[in-house]
């Protein structure tokens, strides 16, 4: 393998709806570059990219795959991504590592749901995008209709570089309106015969050529001036304009291929190596210290791991991109996420599971490392002395949760290890061991995502598991003031126990001030605060503990024991056993016994007094509320909103964005169970959404009753 310098390297991410031919295109790109000698097929389960058992089982890409090819003395790193939306983590991390997206459109269907979704992913991170109309050999190929849909739904700045001469089963040629030549292919595809444009196509080609020239001129002022004075542009100038338009997303060049028949692929590769941006053209990333890290081939070595996986016989592999300097074998670097020193003992480039050892990789290149000690996705490795990290991939927040349990308790430990590995390979699967809910909660992007995870547990890790309904992490709090006294007294045989605690509790809200006088039962009690503990509870909210003891009725040394007692009750609220929060406690009186008082006595007195007061203080259940943002095609907005209302959702606003509406709402987590599946069925899979924890809020009375009832039934069962 040749060593490639920064200006010889292009990095592309393949995007597109599931089934639009990304993996098949990747196969053709590798074949034309001589990286593979035979082209596999997805149906034959022998492509370089879809090599994992689950991909063979399903006939879809599930993970992103790193590949490379070579063309005209340049290297194209390719990341093939999964088109199914539940696996968008692989799309987002690939877009981070690539400088340009190449998006396939299946010309049988034109723009599909995944096309729109992926187009938006690229838009969000401002990556240039090349369109590839694929499957032109198919009997149902419809070039014109697909193009119309693309212009309507994706962008009006799509510019045809080619059009097919004979779409359908006989497809073997395209007219290239940039080069103004016809590219004709044999049955095996491969390199084209470059011919003059036939007379009957001349006029159409001419018109489309003019459209390109105008668009190229638009992307640059100096080109525009040249265009005005000369009435046209040279090929060199057009290419310059296209490269700039592509880079700034002012233009989306469109190609015509059949990946299956290897038709049109060489010309696409030529365009990528010549016109697609390289790392030095793109905005430089900003590091954790706010500094811009320029792509400097002579700078200090620096790389970012955008993907980790676990491979048979090898173990963990980390896929990275070089952002500065040169990476060589045996280089010593520091993982700046955890401070661990790593030696890069073996350096590889990858085409799926096939790896080739290389001595060095330069700025912009993509490679893989094995045998690192403590490095995984989203870590930065730098030459010593460069103590900063990249901002990194912004993986989507989870939006689907389930509880999981091994069918056999003997498998608990094995399940833990397997889940850790699964998370390592797919950071969008998040594992939460909830002490509170006494459940292992798995968070992911959708039902299908977690079913695929289960497939791995069943078939690869051989751990039978069950999915259960995930519990909701409720909280409890109080709504009014209450008072309680409790005397703990025990006299049996030897040493006795005695402790008495008088306290008030009241709701705590941020910024509220403490009481100086408390009235109850016709009495008025002056409170003078002698000590204050403000405890930020691990589960959110606060407990404020005030020592208002006067005249030494309780020794200061017992105050921590009382607090301990309170905290025990804060962990099991009286209504549903959930964590309590946002309570202020005034301990204002009590009694001691000269011999029998000890810490245990006061802990118990404090605990019971608090428990009694809590029950009388109008206890309420709080539930987690999520901010939900849904992007939905305008024609489905009404259905989505009425569904949200059925989920006790509160719609906060709506905004139009192209042909979509963005709905912002607040919805209780309890009502979001399987939302991704429901939304998908309401919108025919055409909606996207995100959800993020916002705050805890009181549940309505009827819901509170239902939750308490469910809790007490569950308690009885146990
Ligand atoms: N006729 C025809 N079929 C194609 C072409 N490209 C891909 N296919 C077929 O379309 C199906 C899907 O192709 P893939 O390459 O797996 O599509 P993908 O975009 O990688 O799909 P995901 O991995 O699910 O996102 C397979 O059966 C391919 O053989 C093409 O150019 N022509
Ligand atoms: Mg695929």
User: Tens digits of per-residue pLDDT, 704-718?
Assistant: 999 999 888 887 876
**What's the gap in Å between 626 CA and the centre of ligand 2?**
33
For the chain, list residues with pLDDT below 50: none
**What pLDDT was estimated at residue 100?**
98
Is the C-beta atom of 41 inside 6 A of ligand 1? yes
Cβ of 295: how many Cβ atoms within 10 Å? 21
Is the C-beta atom of 260 inside 6 A of ligand 1? yes
**What's the gap in Å between 96 CA and the centre of ligand 1?**
24
Is the C-beta atom of 189 inside 6 A of ligand 1? no
DSSP, res 700: P
> Which residues contact residue 557 at a Cβ distance below 8 angstroms, ignoring those fewer than 6 apart?
none
**What's the gap in Å between 117 CA and the centre of ligand 2?**
16
**What pLDDT was estimated at residue 441?**
97
**What pLDDT was estimated at residue 154?**
95
Q: Which ligand is nearest to the CA of 82?
A: 1
The beta strand positions in 634-713, using DSSP E, are 650-657, 660-668, 688-698
**140-143, long-range: CB < 8 A, 24+ apart:** 140/108, 141/107, 141/108, 141/167, 141/168, 141/171, 142/107, 142/108, 142/110, 142/167, 143/107, 143/167, 143/256
Closest ligand 1 atom number to CA of residue 43: 27
Q: Which two tokens stand for residue 15?
A: 């995007």
Is the C-beta atom of 414 inside 6 A of ligand 1? no
**What's the gap in Å between 111 CA and the centre of ligand 1?**
15
Is the C-beta atom of 590 inside 6 A of ligand 1? no
Helix (H) or strand (E) holding 442: strand 439-444
Q: Which ligand is nearest to the CA of 21?
A: 1
**What pLDDT was estimated at residue 425?**
97
**Which of 56, 260, 449, 452 gets mutated to test ligand 1 (max ligand atoms within 8 A of its CB)?**
260
**What's the gap in Å between 668 CA and the centre of ligand 2?**
36
What residue owns the CA closest to ligand 1's atom 2? 135
What residue owns the CA closest to ligand 1's atom 6? 21
Q: Which residue has the tokens 């038709």?
A: 263
Measured between alpha carbons, how far is 142 from 97 in angstroms, rounded to an integer? 33
Q: Which residue has the tokens 């970012």?
A: 304
Q: 278-325, pLDDT tens digit by residue?
A: 999 999 999 999 999 999 999 999 999 999 999 988 899 999 999 999
Is the C-beta atom of 82 inside 6 A of ligand 1? yes
**What's the gap in Å between 43 CA and the centre of ligand 1?**
9
Measured between alpha carbons, how far is 593 from 706 in angstroms, rounded to an integer? 45
Q: What angle in degrees, to the nearest 10, is found between the helix axes of 88-97 and 113-124?
A: 40
**What's the gap in Å between 30 CA and the centre of ligand 2?**
14
What residue owns the CA closest to ligand 1's atom 32? 135
Q: Which ligand is nearest to the CA of 59?
A: 1
**What pLDDT was estimated at residue 686?**
86
**What's the gap in Å between 260 CA and the centre of ligand 1?**
8
Cβ of 527: how many Cβ atoms within 10 Å? 16
Is the C-beta atom of 24 inside 6 A of ligand 1? yes
Measured between alpha carbons, how far is 118 from 104 in angstroms, rounded to an integer? 10
Is the C-beta atom of 42 inside 6 A of ligand 1? yes
Q: Which ligand is nearest to the CA of 39?
A: 1
Q: Which ligand is nearest to the CA of 22?
A: 1
Is the C-beta atom of 20 inside 6 A of ligand 1? yes
What residue owns the CA closest to ligand 1's atom 9? 21
**Which of 17, 21, 109, 258 gets mutated to test ligand 1 (max ligand atoms within 8 A of its CB)?**
21
Burial label, 397 (beta-carbon count in 10 A; 0-12, 13-18, 19+) = middle
Is the C-beta atom of 118 inside 6 A of ligand 1? no
**What pLDDT was estimated at residue 436?**
87
**What's the gap in Å between 22 CA and the centre of ligand 2?**
5
Q: Which residue has the tokens 């020592």?
A: 547
**Which of 23, 31, 47 gets mutated to test ligand 1 (max ligand atoms within 8 A of its CB)?**
23
Closest ligand 1 atom number to CA of residue 55: 23
Sheet architecture: strand order including 354-357: 341-344, 331-335, 380-382, 302-311, 315-324, 366-370, 347-351, 354-357
**What's the gap in Å between 351 CA and the centre of ligand 2?**
14
Q: Which ligand is nearest to the CA of 44?
A: 1
**What's the gap in Å between 375 CA and the centre of ligand 2?**
27
Q: Which ligand is nearest to the CA of 19?
A: 1
Q: Answer whether 9's CB lies under 8 Å from 278's CB.
A: yes
**What pLDDT was estimated at residue 312?**
84
Is the C-beta atom of 115 inside 6 A of ligand 1? no
Is the C-beta atom of 22 inside 6 A of ligand 1? yes
Is the C-beta atom of 52 inside 6 A of ligand 1? no
Question: Could you tell me the pTM of the whole model?
Answer: 0.90
What residue owns the CA closest to ligand 1's atom 8? 21
Buried b (16+ CB within 10 A) or exposed e, 354-392: ebeebeebbbbbbbbbbebeebbbbbbbbbeebeebbeb
Is the C-beta atom of 181 inside 6 A of ligand 1? no
Q: Which ligand is nearest to the CA of 27?
A: 1
């Amino acid at each position: 393998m040749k060593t490639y310098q920064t200006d010889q390297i292009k990095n592309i991410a393949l995007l597109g709806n599931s089934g639009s031919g990304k993996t098949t295109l990747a196969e053709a790109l590798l074949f034309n570059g001589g990286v593979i000698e035979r082209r596999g097929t997805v149906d034959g389960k022998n492509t370089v990219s879809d090599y994992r058992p689950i991909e063979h089982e399903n006939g879809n890409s599930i993970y992103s795959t790193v590949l490379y090819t070579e063309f005209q003395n340049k290297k194209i790193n390719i990341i093939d991504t999964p088109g199914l939306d539940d696996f968008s983590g692989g799309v987002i991390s690939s877009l981070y590592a690539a400088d340009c997206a190449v998006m396939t459109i299946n010309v049988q269907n034109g723009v599909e749901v995944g096309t729109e979704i992926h187009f938006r992913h690229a838009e969000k991170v401002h990556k240039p995008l090349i369109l590839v109309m694929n499957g032109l050999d198919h009997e149902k190929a419809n070039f014109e209709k697909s193009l119309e849909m693309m212009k309507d739904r994706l962008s009006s700045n799509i510019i045809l570089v080619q059009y097919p001469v004979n779409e359908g089963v006989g497809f073997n040629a395209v007219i290239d309106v940039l080069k103004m030549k016809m590219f004709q292919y044999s049955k095996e595809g491969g390199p084209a015969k470059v011919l003059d444009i036939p007379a009957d196509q001349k006029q159409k080609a001419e018109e489309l050529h003019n459209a390109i020239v105008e668009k190229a001129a638009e992307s640059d002022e100096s080109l525009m001036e040249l265009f005005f004075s000369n009435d046209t542009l040279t090929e060199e100038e057009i290419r310059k304009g296209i490269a700039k338009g592509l880079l700034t997303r002012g233009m989306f060049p469109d190609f015509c291929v059949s990946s299956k028949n290897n038709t049109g692929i060489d010309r696409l590769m030529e365009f990528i190596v010549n016109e697609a941006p390289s790392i030095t053209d793109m905005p430089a990333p900003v590091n954790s210290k706010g500094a811009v890290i320029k792509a400097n081939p002579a700078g200090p070595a620096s790389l970012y791991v955008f993907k980790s996986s676990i491979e048979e016989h090898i173990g963990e592999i980390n896929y990275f991109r070089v952002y500065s300097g040169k990476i060589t074998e045996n280089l010593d670097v520091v993982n700046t996420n955890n401070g661990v020193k790593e030696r890069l003992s073996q350096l590889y480039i990858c085409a799926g599971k096939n790896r080739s050892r290389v001595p060095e990789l330069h700025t912009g290149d993509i490679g893989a490392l094995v045998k690192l000690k403590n490095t995984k996705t989203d870590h930065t490795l730098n030459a010593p002395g460069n103590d900063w990290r990249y901002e990194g991939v912004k993986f989507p927040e989870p939006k689907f949760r389930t509880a999981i349990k091994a069918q056999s308790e003997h498998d608990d430990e094995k399940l833990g290890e397997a889940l850790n590995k699964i998370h390592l390979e797919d950071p969008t699967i998040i594992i939460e061991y909830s002490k509170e809910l006494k459940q292992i909660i798995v968070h992911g992007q959708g039902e299908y995502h977690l079913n695929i995870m289960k497939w791995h547990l069943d078939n690869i890790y051989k751990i039978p598991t069950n999915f259960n309904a995930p519990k909701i992490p409720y909280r409890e709090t109080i709504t009014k003031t209450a008072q309680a006294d409790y005397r703990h007294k025990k006299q049996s045989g030897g040493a006795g126990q005695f402790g008495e605690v008088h306290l008030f509790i009241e709701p705590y809200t941020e910024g509220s001030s403490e009481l100086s006088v408390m009235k109850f039962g016709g009495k008025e009690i002056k409170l003078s605060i002698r000590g204050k503990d403000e405890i930020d509870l691990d589960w959110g909210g606060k407990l404020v503990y005030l020592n208002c003891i006067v005249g030494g009725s309780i020794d200061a040394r017992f105050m921590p024991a009382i607090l301990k007692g309170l905290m025990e009750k804060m962990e099991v609220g009286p209504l549903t056993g959930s964590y309590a929060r946002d309570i202020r406690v005034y301990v204002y009186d009590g009694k001691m016994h000269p011999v029998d008082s000890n810490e245990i006595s006061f802990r118990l007195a404090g605990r019971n007094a608090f428990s009694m007061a809590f029950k009388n203080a109008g206890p309420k259940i709080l539930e987690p509320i999520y901010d939900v943002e849904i992007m939905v095609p305008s024609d489905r907005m009404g259905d989505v909103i009425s569904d949200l209302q059925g989920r006790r959702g509160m719609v906060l606003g709506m905004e139009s964005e192209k042909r979509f509406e963005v709905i912002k709402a607040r919805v209780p987590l309890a009502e979001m169970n399987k939302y991704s599946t429901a939304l998908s069925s309401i919108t025919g899979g055409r909606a996207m959404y995100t959800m993020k924890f916002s705050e805890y809020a009181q549940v309505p009375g009827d819901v509170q009753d239902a939750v308490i009832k469910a809790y007490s039934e569950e308690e009885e069962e146990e």
